[in-house]
Protein backbone atom coordinates (compact mmCIF):
# COMPACT_ATOMS: atom_id res chain seq x y z
CA UNK A 1 0.00 0.00 0.00
CA UNK A 2 1.15 3.49 -0.82
CA UNK A 3 2.39 5.68 2.05
CA UNK A 4 0.39 8.77 2.93
CA UNK A 5 3.30 10.99 1.94
CA UNK A 6 3.57 9.38 -1.47
CA UNK A 7 -0.20 9.58 -1.96
CA UNK A 8 -0.23 13.32 -1.29
CA UNK A 9 2.89 13.91 -3.39
CA UNK A 10 1.37 12.18 -6.42
CA UNK A 11 -1.91 14.04 -6.05
CA UNK A 12 -0.01 17.34 -5.92
CA UNK A 13 1.83 16.36 -9.10
CA UNK A 14 -1.52 15.86 -10.79
CA UNK A 15 -1.23 12.11 -10.95
CA UNK A 16 -3.69 9.56 -9.63
CA UNK A 17 -2.40 7.84 -6.48
CA UNK A 18 -4.08 4.69 -5.08
CA UNK A 19 -6.82 6.87 -3.58
CA UNK A 20 -7.72 10.50 -2.96
CA UNK A 21 -5.59 11.75 -0.05
CA UNK A 22 -7.50 12.90 3.03
CA UNK A 23 -6.72 15.89 5.24
CA UNK A 24 -7.95 16.82 8.66
CA UNK A 25 -6.17 19.39 10.75
CA UNK A 26 -2.98 19.83 8.73
CA UNK A 27 -3.69 23.56 8.65
CA UNK A 28 -5.68 25.97 10.77
CA UNK A 29 -8.19 26.23 7.92
CA UNK A 30 -8.76 22.50 7.49
CA UNK A 31 -9.27 21.62 11.15
CA UNK A 32 -12.13 21.08 13.54
CA UNK A 33 -13.75 22.94 16.42
CA UNK A 34 -12.73 21.60 19.82
CA UNK A 35 -16.33 20.62 20.72
CA UNK A 36 -16.56 18.43 17.62
CA UNK A 37 -13.09 16.93 18.13
CA UNK A 38 -14.15 15.93 21.64
CA UNK A 39 -17.39 14.31 20.48
CA UNK A 40 -15.58 12.59 17.63
CA UNK A 41 -12.92 11.16 19.94
CA UNK A 42 -15.62 9.93 22.29
CA UNK A 43 -17.60 8.35 19.44
CA UNK A 44 -14.48 6.57 18.22
CA UNK A 45 -13.67 5.38 21.74
CA UNK A 46 -10.28 7.06 21.65
CA UNK A 47 -10.64 8.61 25.12
CA UNK A 48 -12.34 7.93 28.42
CA UNK A 49 -15.34 10.24 28.95
CA UNK A 50 -14.26 13.64 30.24
CA UNK A 51 -10.77 13.49 28.74
CA UNK A 52 -10.01 17.07 27.69
CA UNK A 53 -8.97 18.12 24.18
CA UNK A 54 -6.25 20.73 23.62
CA UNK A 55 -7.22 23.98 21.94
CA UNK A 56 -4.39 24.52 19.46
CA UNK A 57 -5.82 27.68 17.90
CA UNK A 58 -7.71 29.88 20.35
CA UNK A 59 -9.16 32.30 17.78
CA UNK A 60 -11.25 29.68 15.95
CA UNK A 61 -11.10 27.32 18.97
CA UNK A 62 -9.68 24.44 16.96
CA UNK A 63 -9.07 21.17 18.75
CA UNK A 64 -5.88 19.13 18.51
CA UNK A 65 -6.01 16.33 15.96
CA UNK A 66 -3.72 13.74 17.53
CA UNK A 67 -2.09 10.84 15.63
CA UNK A 68 -4.62 8.32 16.99
CA UNK A 69 -7.46 10.34 15.45
CA UNK A 70 -5.51 10.76 12.18
CA UNK A 71 -5.09 7.01 12.01
CA UNK A 72 -8.70 6.24 12.98
CA UNK A 73 -9.93 8.31 10.01
CA UNK A 74 -7.07 7.27 7.68
CA UNK A 75 -5.89 10.86 7.29
CA UNK A 76 -2.80 11.40 5.13
CA UNK A 77 -1.52 14.74 6.41
CA UNK A 78 -0.13 16.27 9.59
CA UNK A 79 0.30 19.80 10.89
CA UNK A 80 3.66 21.42 11.55
CA UNK A 81 3.06 24.79 13.16
CA UNK A 82 4.80 27.33 15.35
CA UNK A 83 4.26 28.00 19.02
CA UNK A 84 2.46 31.31 18.61
CA UNK A 85 -1.22 32.24 18.60
CA UNK A 86 -3.18 35.15 17.16
CA UNK A 87 -3.55 36.56 20.67
CA UNK A 88 0.18 36.70 21.22
CA UNK A 89 0.52 34.05 23.93
CA UNK A 90 2.37 30.79 23.25
CA UNK A 91 0.88 27.30 23.06
CA UNK A 92 2.38 26.14 26.35
CA UNK A 93 1.58 25.64 30.04
CA UNK A 94 -1.73 23.86 29.53
CA UNK A 95 -4.60 24.32 31.95
CA UNK A 96 -8.15 23.03 32.15
CA UNK A 97 -11.07 24.98 30.74
CA UNK A 98 -14.60 24.29 29.62
CA UNK A 99 -16.28 25.60 26.48
CA UNK A 100 -19.81 27.01 26.53
CA UNK A 101 -20.79 23.75 24.85
CA UNK A 102 -19.58 21.89 27.94
CA UNK A 103 -16.48 20.36 26.34
CA UNK A 104 -13.58 19.71 28.71
CA UNK A 105 -10.61 21.42 27.10
CA UNK A 106 -7.01 22.30 27.75
CA UNK A 107 -5.96 25.85 26.94
CA UNK A 108 -2.55 27.56 27.05
CA UNK A 109 -1.45 29.34 30.24
CA UNK A 110 -1.86 32.72 28.53
CA UNK A 111 -5.50 32.00 27.71
CA UNK A 112 -6.84 34.30 30.42
CA UNK A 113 -10.51 35.15 30.16
CA UNK A 114 -12.69 37.62 31.99
CA UNK A 115 -16.49 37.38 31.95
CA UNK A 116 -18.50 40.47 31.06
CA UNK A 117 -21.76 41.27 32.91
CA UNK A 118 -23.75 39.92 29.93
CA UNK A 119 -21.87 36.63 30.03
CA UNK A 120 -19.51 37.31 27.11
CA UNK A 121 -15.91 36.24 27.63
CA UNK A 122 -13.00 38.57 26.98
CA UNK A 123 -9.53 37.39 26.03
CA UNK A 124 -6.36 39.46 26.38
CA UNK A 125 -3.30 40.11 24.21
CA UNK A 126 -0.34 38.09 25.45
CA UNK A 127 -2.60 36.90 28.28
CA UNK A 128 -2.28 40.26 30.02
CA UNK A 129 -5.55 41.11 31.78
CA UNK A 130 -4.34 44.66 32.43
CA UNK A 131 -4.22 45.38 28.69
CA UNK A 132 -7.38 46.24 26.73
CA UNK A 133 -9.10 42.98 25.72
CA UNK A 134 -8.54 41.91 22.10
CA UNK A 135 -10.96 38.98 21.79
CA UNK A 136 -14.61 38.43 22.65
CA UNK A 137 -16.60 35.21 22.73
CA UNK A 138 -20.31 35.96 22.98
CA UNK A 139 -22.15 34.18 25.76
CA UNK A 140 -22.95 30.68 24.50
CA UNK A 141 -20.61 31.25 21.53
CA UNK A 142 -18.01 29.00 19.96
CA UNK A 143 -15.19 31.27 18.83
CA UNK A 144 -13.49 34.51 19.69
CA UNK A 145 -13.95 37.50 17.49
CA UNK A 146 -11.24 40.07 17.38
CA UNK A 147 -12.02 43.36 19.10
CA UNK A 148 -11.05 46.36 17.01
CA UNK A 149 -8.99 48.80 19.05
CA UNK A 150 -8.40 51.58 16.57
CA UNK A 151 -6.67 54.62 18.02
CA UNK A 152 -7.63 57.79 16.15
CA UNK A 153 -4.85 58.81 13.79
CA UNK A 154 -3.94 61.73 11.60
CA UNK A 155 -3.09 60.94 8.02
CA UNK A 156 0.34 62.51 8.30
CA UNK A 157 1.18 60.42 11.39
CA UNK A 158 0.62 57.03 9.75
CA UNK A 159 3.83 55.01 9.78
CA UNK A 160 4.45 51.82 7.84
CA UNK A 161 6.13 50.17 10.82
CA UNK A 162 3.00 50.56 12.97
CA UNK A 163 1.25 47.91 10.90
CA UNK A 164 4.31 45.66 11.06
CA UNK A 165 4.71 45.38 14.80
CA UNK A 166 3.37 41.81 14.86
CA UNK A 167 5.77 40.60 12.17
CA UNK A 168 9.34 39.79 13.10
CA UNK A 169 12.18 37.46 12.28
CA UNK A 170 11.66 34.11 14.01
CA UNK A 171 13.86 33.31 16.98
CA UNK A 172 16.27 30.38 16.82
CA UNK A 173 14.16 28.76 19.51
CA UNK A 174 11.11 28.94 17.26
CA UNK A 175 12.90 27.48 14.23
CA UNK A 176 14.23 24.73 16.47
CA UNK A 177 10.62 23.98 17.41
CA UNK A 178 9.73 23.63 13.71
CA UNK A 179 12.75 21.37 13.21
CA UNK A 180 11.91 19.07 16.12
CA UNK A 181 8.24 18.83 15.22
CA UNK A 182 8.96 18.07 11.55
CA UNK A 183 11.60 15.51 12.39
CA UNK A 184 9.33 13.76 14.86
CA UNK A 185 6.41 13.54 12.44
CA UNK A 186 8.64 12.64 9.49
CA UNK A 187 10.35 9.78 11.26
CA UNK A 188 7.45 8.50 13.36
CA UNK A 189 4.60 8.73 10.84
CA UNK A 190 4.20 8.41 7.09
CA UNK A 191 2.02 11.53 6.88
CA UNK A 192 2.65 14.36 4.45
CA UNK A 193 3.74 17.35 6.53
CA UNK A 194 2.12 20.72 6.05
CA UNK A 195 4.02 23.77 7.25
CA UNK A 196 1.55 26.17 8.69
CA UNK A 197 2.82 29.61 7.80
CA UNK A 198 -0.51 31.40 7.52
CA UNK A 199 0.92 34.10 9.77
CA UNK A 200 2.87 35.28 6.72
CA UNK A 201 -0.39 36.33 5.06
CA UNK A 202 -0.53 39.84 3.67
CA UNK A 203 -3.49 41.87 4.90
CA UNK A 204 -5.30 39.00 6.64
CA UNK A 205 -8.39 40.75 7.92
CA UNK A 206 -8.63 38.64 11.09
CA UNK A 207 -5.13 39.79 12.04
CA UNK A 208 -5.35 43.42 10.96
CA UNK A 209 -6.78 44.53 14.35
CA UNK A 210 -3.56 43.21 15.97
CA UNK A 211 -5.15 40.85 18.52
CA UNK A 212 -1.74 39.86 19.87
CA UNK A 213 -0.64 43.43 20.53
CA UNK A 214 -1.30 45.27 23.78
CA UNK A 215 -1.46 48.63 22.10
CA UNK A 216 -1.92 48.26 18.32
CA UNK A 217 -1.00 51.29 16.23
CA UNK A 218 -1.55 52.11 12.57
CA UNK A 219 -4.61 51.05 10.57
CA UNK A 220 -6.40 48.51 12.76
CA UNK A 221 -10.07 48.98 11.93
CA UNK A 222 -11.35 46.44 9.42
CA UNK A 223 -13.42 48.88 7.33
CA UNK A 224 -10.62 51.46 7.40
CA UNK A 225 -8.25 48.75 6.16
CA UNK A 226 -10.52 47.90 3.21
CA UNK A 227 -10.88 51.60 2.45
CA UNK A 228 -7.10 51.93 2.60
CA UNK A 229 -6.72 49.31 -0.16
CA UNK A 230 -8.29 51.99 -2.37
CA UNK A 231 -7.21 55.28 -0.81
CA UNK A 232 -3.77 54.54 0.69
CA UNK A 233 -2.40 52.19 -1.90
CA UNK A 234 1.23 53.34 -1.62
CA UNK A 235 1.16 52.98 2.14
CA UNK A 236 -0.28 49.44 1.95
CA UNK A 237 2.25 48.59 -0.76
CA UNK A 238 5.08 49.62 1.55
CA UNK A 239 3.63 47.55 4.42
CA UNK A 240 3.45 44.48 2.16
CA UNK A 241 6.94 45.11 0.80
CA UNK A 242 8.48 45.20 4.27
CA UNK A 243 6.41 42.25 5.47
CA UNK A 244 7.56 40.21 2.48
CA UNK A 245 11.20 40.98 3.28
CA UNK A 246 10.63 39.57 6.79
CA UNK A 247 8.69 36.59 5.38
CA UNK A 248 11.54 35.68 3.05
CA UNK A 249 14.04 35.68 5.91
CA UNK A 250 11.68 33.47 7.93
CA UNK A 251 11.11 31.06 5.06
CA UNK A 252 14.84 30.68 4.68
CA UNK A 253 15.23 30.00 8.41
CA UNK A 254 12.38 27.48 8.46
CA UNK A 255 13.73 25.73 5.40
CA UNK A 256 17.16 25.51 6.99
CA UNK A 257 15.51 23.81 9.98
CA UNK A 258 12.89 21.62 8.32
CA UNK A 259 14.40 21.02 4.91
CA UNK A 260 12.30 19.11 2.43
CA UNK A 261 10.68 16.93 5.06
CA UNK A 262 7.59 19.07 4.57
CA UNK A 263 5.44 18.47 1.51
CA UNK A 264 3.37 21.63 1.62
CA UNK A 265 3.75 25.21 2.86
CA UNK A 266 0.55 27.06 3.71
CA UNK A 267 1.56 30.62 2.84
CA UNK A 268 -1.51 32.79 2.56
CA UNK A 269 -4.76 32.75 4.53
CA UNK A 270 -6.13 36.14 3.50
CA UNK A 271 -9.72 35.91 2.33
CA UNK A 272 -10.21 37.43 -1.10
CA UNK A 273 -13.73 36.14 -1.66
CA UNK A 274 -17.18 36.94 -0.31
CA UNK A 275 -20.25 34.81 -0.94
CA UNK A 276 -21.04 36.43 -4.32
CA UNK A 277 -17.70 37.57 -5.68
CA UNK A 278 -14.22 38.75 -4.72
CA UNK A 279 -13.77 41.26 -1.89
CA UNK A 280 -11.30 43.17 -4.02
CA UNK A 281 -11.12 43.59 -7.77
CA UNK A 282 -8.79 41.34 -9.74
CA UNK A 283 -6.91 44.54 -10.59
CA UNK A 284 -6.36 45.33 -6.91
CA UNK A 285 -5.13 41.77 -6.36
CA UNK A 286 -2.79 42.07 -9.35
CA UNK A 287 -1.35 45.43 -8.32
CA UNK A 288 -1.19 45.09 -4.58
CA UNK A 289 -0.84 41.41 -3.65
CA UNK A 290 0.32 39.38 -6.65
CA UNK A 291 3.87 40.80 -6.94
CA UNK A 292 4.62 39.83 -3.33
CA UNK A 293 2.90 36.44 -3.56
CA UNK A 294 4.98 35.80 -6.66
CA UNK A 295 8.20 36.73 -4.92
CA UNK A 296 7.53 34.29 -2.06
CA UNK A 297 6.35 31.47 -4.33
CA UNK A 298 9.39 31.89 -6.55
CA UNK A 299 11.68 31.66 -3.55
CA UNK A 300 9.97 28.49 -2.35
CA UNK A 301 10.05 26.85 -5.76
CA UNK A 302 13.68 27.81 -6.32
CA UNK A 303 14.91 26.60 -2.96
CA UNK A 304 12.62 23.83 -1.78
CA UNK A 305 10.43 20.96 -2.97
CA UNK A 306 7.43 22.37 -1.08
CA UNK A 307 4.14 22.95 -2.84
CA UNK A 308 2.56 26.26 -1.91
CA UNK A 309 -0.95 26.58 -0.52
CA UNK A 310 -3.28 29.58 -0.63
CA UNK A 311 -6.50 29.71 1.36
CA UNK A 312 -9.28 32.06 0.39
CA UNK A 313 -12.91 31.60 1.24
CA UNK A 314 -15.75 32.66 -0.97
CA UNK A 315 -16.22 33.24 -4.63
CA UNK A 316 -12.72 33.50 -6.10
CA UNK A 317 -13.33 32.20 -9.63
CA UNK A 318 -12.31 35.63 -10.96
CA UNK A 319 -9.00 35.43 -9.07
CA UNK A 320 -7.89 31.81 -9.54
CA UNK A 321 -6.03 32.64 -12.77
CA UNK A 322 -4.06 35.27 -10.85
CA UNK A 323 -3.37 32.91 -7.93
CA UNK A 324 -1.89 30.49 -10.45
CA UNK A 325 0.10 33.28 -12.09
CA UNK A 326 1.43 34.18 -8.63
CA UNK A 327 2.80 30.63 -8.42
CA UNK A 328 0.47 28.96 -5.94
CA UNK A 329 0.18 25.20 -6.40
CA UNK A 330 -2.80 24.56 -4.13
CA UNK A 331 -6.14 26.31 -3.66
CA UNK A 332 -8.21 25.96 -0.49
CA UNK A 333 -11.00 25.75 0.76
CA UNK A 334 -12.83 25.71 -2.62
CA UNK A 335 -16.13 27.05 -1.39
CA UNK A 336 -18.42 25.51 -4.00
CA UNK A 337 -21.53 27.11 -2.46
CA UNK A 338 -20.26 30.59 -3.35
CA UNK A 339 -21.12 32.20 -6.67
CA UNK A 340 -19.37 30.86 -9.81
CA UNK A 341 -17.65 28.06 -7.85
CA UNK A 342 -19.16 25.04 -9.56
CA UNK A 343 -16.80 22.13 -8.85
CA UNK A 344 -16.92 20.68 -12.37
CA UNK A 345 -16.28 24.09 -13.96
CA UNK A 346 -13.37 24.77 -11.59
CA UNK A 347 -11.78 21.43 -12.39
CA UNK A 348 -12.24 21.86 -16.12
CA UNK A 349 -10.77 25.35 -16.26
CA UNK A 350 -7.99 25.18 -13.65
CA UNK A 351 -7.68 21.49 -12.71
CA UNK A 352 -4.44 20.73 -14.51
CA UNK A 353 -2.71 23.79 -13.08
CA UNK A 354 -3.79 23.91 -9.44
CA UNK A 355 -4.61 21.30 -6.81
CA UNK A 356 -7.95 21.65 -5.08
CA UNK A 357 -7.50 21.06 -1.37
CA UNK A 358 -10.94 21.06 0.20
CA UNK A 359 -14.29 21.43 -1.49
CA UNK A 360 -15.21 17.96 -0.21
CA UNK A 361 -18.50 18.88 1.41
CA UNK A 362 -20.25 22.12 2.20
CA UNK A 363 -19.72 23.32 5.79
CA UNK A 364 -22.42 25.98 5.68
CA UNK A 365 -25.31 23.63 4.93
CA UNK A 366 -24.77 19.93 4.18
CA UNK A 367 -22.28 19.01 6.90
CA UNK A 368 -24.02 20.79 9.81
CA UNK A 369 -27.64 20.42 8.73
CA UNK A 370 -27.83 17.51 6.26
CA UNK A 371 -28.30 13.80 6.94
CA UNK A 372 -25.37 11.36 6.73
CA UNK A 373 -26.88 10.18 3.43
CA UNK A 374 -26.83 13.72 2.03
CA UNK A 375 -23.24 14.16 3.20
CA UNK A 376 -22.34 10.91 1.48
CA UNK A 377 -23.96 11.97 -1.80
CA UNK A 378 -22.24 15.34 -1.81
CA UNK A 379 -18.84 13.80 -1.05
CA UNK A 380 -19.29 11.39 -3.99
CA UNK A 381 -20.23 14.24 -6.29
CA UNK A 382 -17.17 16.26 -5.25
CA UNK A 383 -14.86 13.28 -5.78
CA UNK A 384 -16.31 12.84 -9.26
CA UNK A 385 -15.69 16.53 -9.91
CA UNK A 386 -12.23 17.06 -8.44
CA UNK A 387 -10.75 13.55 -8.33
CA UNK A 388 -9.98 12.63 -11.96
CA UNK A 389 -6.29 12.93 -12.81
CA UNK A 390 -5.23 13.71 -9.23
CA UNK A 391 -4.84 17.33 -8.17
CA UNK A 392 -7.27 16.82 -5.31
CA UNK A 393 -6.77 16.49 -1.56
CA UNK A 394 -10.01 15.84 0.26
CA UNK A 395 -11.18 18.07 3.07
CA UNK A 396 -14.45 19.75 3.99
CA UNK A 397 -14.86 23.34 2.85
CA UNK A 398 -13.00 25.00 5.75
CA UNK A 399 -12.90 23.92 9.40
CA UNK A 400 -15.58 21.58 10.66
CA UNK A 401 -17.61 23.76 12.99
CA UNK A 402 -19.17 23.17 16.40
CA UNK A 403 -22.57 21.46 16.54
CA UNK A 404 -21.84 19.33 13.46
CA UNK A 405 -23.24 15.82 13.99
CA UNK A 406 -20.44 13.31 14.52
CA UNK A 407 -22.19 10.79 12.28
CA UNK A 408 -21.91 13.33 9.44
CA UNK A 409 -18.16 13.69 10.00
CA UNK A 410 -17.75 9.92 10.05
CA UNK A 411 -19.91 9.55 6.93
CA UNK A 412 -17.77 12.19 5.18
CA UNK A 413 -14.42 10.47 5.77
CA UNK A 414 -15.77 6.96 5.25
CA UNK A 415 -17.28 7.91 1.91
CA UNK A 416 -14.18 9.85 0.87
CA UNK A 417 -11.93 6.86 1.39
CA UNK A 418 -14.31 4.22 0.00
CA UNK A 419 -15.43 6.17 -3.01
CA UNK A 420 -12.09 7.92 -3.55
CA UNK A 421 -10.24 4.80 -4.64
CA UNK A 422 -8.62 5.11 -8.06
CA UNK A 423 -9.63 4.34 -10.73
CA UNK A 424 -12.67 6.39 -9.75
CA UNK A 425 -16.14 5.13 -10.52
CA UNK A 426 -17.45 7.98 -12.60
CA UNK A 427 -20.56 6.30 -14.01
CA UNK A 428 -22.95 8.84 -12.49
CA UNK A 429 -20.78 11.84 -13.27
CA UNK A 430 -22.80 14.99 -13.75
Partner 1 sequence: MAQFQELQQAIIDGKAPVSKELTEKMLKEGIRPGEFFPKAIIPAMDEVGRRMRECEFFIPEVLIAARAARASSDILRPLLVGEDAMSSAGTVVCGTVKGDLHDIGKNIVAMMLESAGFKIIDLGVDVTPEKIVEAVRANHANIVALSALLTTTMVNMKSVVEALAAAGLRDKVKIMVGGAPVTDAWAHSIGADGYGKDAPAAVELARQLATA
CB of 275 to partner 1, least distance (A): 5
Q: Pick the piece of the chain touching partner 1 (CB under 8 A) from 60-68, 196-204, 294-302, 397-405.
A: 397-405
Can residue 405 be called a binding residue for partner 1 (CB under 8 A)?
no
Is residue 234 close enough to count as binding partner 1 by CB under 8 A? no
Q: Smallest distance from the beta carbon of 114 to partner 1, in angstroms?
A: 17
Residue 313 and residue 291: Cα distance in Å, rounded? 21
Q: Taking CB under 8 A as the rule, does residue 3 contact partner 1?
A: no
Long-range contacts of 418-424 (CB under 8 A, 24+ apart): 419/379, 419/380, 419/383, 420/19, 420/20, 420/22, 420/383, 420/387, 420/394, 421/18, 421/19, 422/16, 422/17, 422/18, 422/19, 422/20, 422/387, 423/16, 424/383, 424/384, 424/387, 424/388
Assess 402 for contact with partner 1 (CB under 8 A): yes
- What is the per-residue binding string for partner 1 in 90-129, x denoting contact by CB under 8 A? ------------------------------x---------
Q: Which is nearer to partner 1, 171 or 369 (CB)?
A: 369
* Single residue of 45, 96, 155, 223 touching partner 1 by CB under 8 A: 223
Among 84, 90, 104, 141, binds partner 1 (CB under 8 A): 141
Question: What residues between 356 and 375 interact with partner 1 by CB under 8 A?
Answer: 363-365, 368-369
* Rounded CA separation 121/136 (Å): 6
231 forms part of the interface with partner 1 (CB under 8 A): yes
Q: Which stretch binds partner 1 (CB under 8 A): 57-65, 150-158, 169-177, 224-232?
A: 224-232
226 binding partner 1? (CB under 8 A): yes
Q: Using CB under 8 A, which of 103, 150, 401, 415 touches partner 1? A: 401
CB of 276 to partner 1, least distance (A): 5
Identity of the residue, 218 or 278, whose beta carbon is nearer to partner 1 in the bound complex: 278
Angle ∠(149,292,351) on CA atoms, nearest 5? 110
Is 156 a residue that touches partner 1 (CB under 8 A)?
Answer: no
Total chain residues near partner 1 (CB under 8 A):
34
- Asked whether position 342 contacts partner 1 by CB under 8 A, the answer is no
To partner 1, the closest distance from the beta carbon of 403 in angstroms equals 6
Stretch that binds partner 1, among 86-94, 280-288, 412-420, 422-430 (CB under 8 A): 280-288
Q: How far is the CB of 390 from partner 1 (least distance, A)?
A: 31
Contact call for residue 399 and partner 1 (CB under 8 A)? no
Q: CB under 8 A: which stretch of 19-27, 58-66, 134-142, 412-420 binds partner 1?
A: 134-142
Residues that bind partner 1 (CB under 8 A): 120, 136, 138-142, 145, 222-223, 226-231, 274-281, 284, 318, 363-365, 368-369, 401-403
Amino acid sequence: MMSSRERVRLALEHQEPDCVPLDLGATTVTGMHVDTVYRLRQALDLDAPGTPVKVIEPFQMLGEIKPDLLNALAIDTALVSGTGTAFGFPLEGWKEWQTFGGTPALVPAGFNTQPEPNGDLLLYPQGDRSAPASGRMPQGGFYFDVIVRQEPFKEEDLRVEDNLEEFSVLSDQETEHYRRRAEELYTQTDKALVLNLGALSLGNISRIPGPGLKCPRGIRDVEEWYISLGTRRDHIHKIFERQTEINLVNLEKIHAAVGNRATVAYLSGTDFGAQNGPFVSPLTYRNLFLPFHKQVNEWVHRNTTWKTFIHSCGSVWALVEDFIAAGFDILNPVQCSAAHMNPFDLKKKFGNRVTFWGGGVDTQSTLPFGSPQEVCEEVRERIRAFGPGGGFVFNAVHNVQALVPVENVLAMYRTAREYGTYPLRLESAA
